[in-house]
Structure 1
């Protein structure tokens, strides 16, 4: 979805990142394996408390590993202090030095690497120009907009020529309009980045647009990974299903019939046997106030409206009953059906609009 050239996942001896990040913190344990090839952007995605930031801090050397390994381009980094790692970090709040100009903020990294002041400033000026910020080289952070500050922080990270670029919620501090513009710019810069990039985010759109591959973390463990399109089409947990906007159920398939673990049976177009997931979007659900006699939908259930909320230009109905699910409909349709919390409705879904796949 990024328009980038897809790369294969590296093996343990290839260039790139090969890590198993094990961090024990009392009752919480992180155990996440990552293999990322040079030129690939991987997004760590997950709910709050899943372990994404802990993983990022472990990669940066800010949180020590209690187990596992961390190799970058074949070199072990477990005992390498943070300041000696070939790693660039863009923090959520950017953490620019408030007393330095944009130019000197970007020049700071090269200076720490031993470049002369003139060399460091020349490299910084080049990066600011690439970011479209040449006119703001003399500005201090308080004079920069959120989008400009984000690009200065990215330039500062890239000016050190890192072999691993870490981005911690890089767009979270931006307003919606600026976020749209900066996301497009960041996508372009990441497409040009030749080393490994790892993005941490809880925003599915950021992950889908910016990353070649998603690694979904819940409770300190990887629960699913794959391309954005694969994750969106075949979610394997409730969190992922909600993230990509699908109703998701697990059950036992026998041909075109799936007996759900918690709920009724579903008819699907796929002919499967054994444990499966079944998913369908809220937009595939049609609501009726009476049983849908003569409907072409073979799947229909009696439900009750638990809640209603605006969802873009649609109304999302949260339904409980025979099959808990979410349904999207227009405001006009919601009014015609006289939907309100507690209203009894019938929900129907055509088999052709469901998608079943093996567990």
Structure 2
């Protein structure tokens, strides 16, 4: 990995990694079998009040997203992969080679930092050429390799440009080119789109997806943004309190969340209980009627858009799930209004602005909430 300063007394542009917060135990999760090549790691890092214990396995060409709330341990895991944070225990093998005791600069690892950390005194071309130069590549060859990568990123016309004159999207592409120019076997991306505005983010995300799809080695993306993770990654690994709580394809995790954090991330109301036939009796709350027939511990989920609200108890409504609730908060959510409710069943409901106005909703307003059984989804816990 190459991120050493070319001048001993000159530092890259500002950018730091956030420190993790204390955590708690995990729920077990099954990891895929180790690939013949690629990444095979168990990252254990002990700190006062916090323990990271995460297993990561990925095949060459696979993009894995580490997803989780602030303080979950995502950045600690990334720094451990890069060699910037030493392991307390565990192992780290890349293409079958152990790297636990390999210094950061000697690892075949490329890193794209959240704030890019481009060297402000170097042109875009020399920023990209810096990595190969540190690997012992001659100046002419390094600059030729850098020029090829800038051209591939659509930045051939900005080779002589200093970082301060680059847009956020251009700086992100230069940082990606710099990481890839070293021909890494592991590419680490730390919140690579976090510094971009919404419009630029959309464009750069599409470009990054294309470049990651072409990358032949392993990519590990750290993000707290579910859209970045869903669009860019082949597989999601959700970390909470330093442990893996769930992993799978984006579609599987979106359909079968197993923690409150994941449910909020994908926009679902999620409850746990015990199923008997088409009824799930919740651990804390009423029963929910579903179309699935299950037996034993189960989750039941439904989107906020499936909830219909009434000011008075409805008559002639076919919904078998009916709960008395109270509005605790309202906020704009896209082109809708999201109501947070408490009462028989705490839940979130999405309404049109017209519906919210007609119901005259405000904190403290009593309402009745209904959800049709066909709009719920139950699955084994």
Please, what TM-score do these two structures have when normalized by structure 1?
0.97
Q: C-alpha root-mean-square deviation of aligned residues, in Å?
A: 0.8
* Aligned equivalent of 1:99: 121
3-state secondary structure, aligned to 1:271: strand
Listed as ranges, the matches of 1:1-359 within 5 Å are 11-12=33-34, 14-359=36-381
Mark the runs of 5 or more structure 1 residues left unpaired by the alignment. Answer: 1-8
Q: CA deviation at 1:11?
A: 3.9
In the TM superposition, structure 1's runs of 4+ consecutive aligned residues that sit over 6 Å from their partners are: none
Distance 1:264 1:13 in 2: 45
The alignment of Structure 1 onto Structure 2 pairs a total of residues equal to: 351
Q: CA deviation at 1:331?
A: 0.5
3-state secondary structure, aligned to 1:128: helix
Q: Deviations over 1:86-107 (max 9, x none)?
A: 0000000000000100000000
Whether the 8 Å CA contact 2:272–2:297 is kept in 1: the answer is: yes
Q: 1:308 to 1:37 in 2, by over 3 A?
A: same
Distance 1:138 1:36 in 2: 37
Mark the runs of 5 or more structure 2 residues left unpaired by the alignment. Answer: 1-30
Q: Deviations over 1:268-318 (max 9, x none)?
A: 011101100000000000000111222110001000000111000000000
Distance 1:100 1:13 in 2: 39
Distance 1:292 1:314 in 2: 23
Q: Deviations over 1:300-343 (max 9, x none)?
A: 10000001110000000000000000000101001111111111
Distance 2:318 2:74 in 1: 44
Distance 2:104 2:223 in 1: 22
* Aligned equivalent of 1:3: none
3-state secondary structure, aligned to 2:230: helix
Distance 1:338 1:96 in 2: 52
Q: CA deviation at 1:196?
A: 0.2
Distance 1:55 1:10 in 2: 18
Distance 1:296 1:41 in 2: 45
Whether the 8 Å CA contact 1:306–1:320 is kept in 2: the answer is: yes
Distance 2:48 2:186 in 1: 29
3-state secondary structure, aligned to 1:274: strand
Please, what TM-score do these two structures have when normalized by structure 2?
0.91
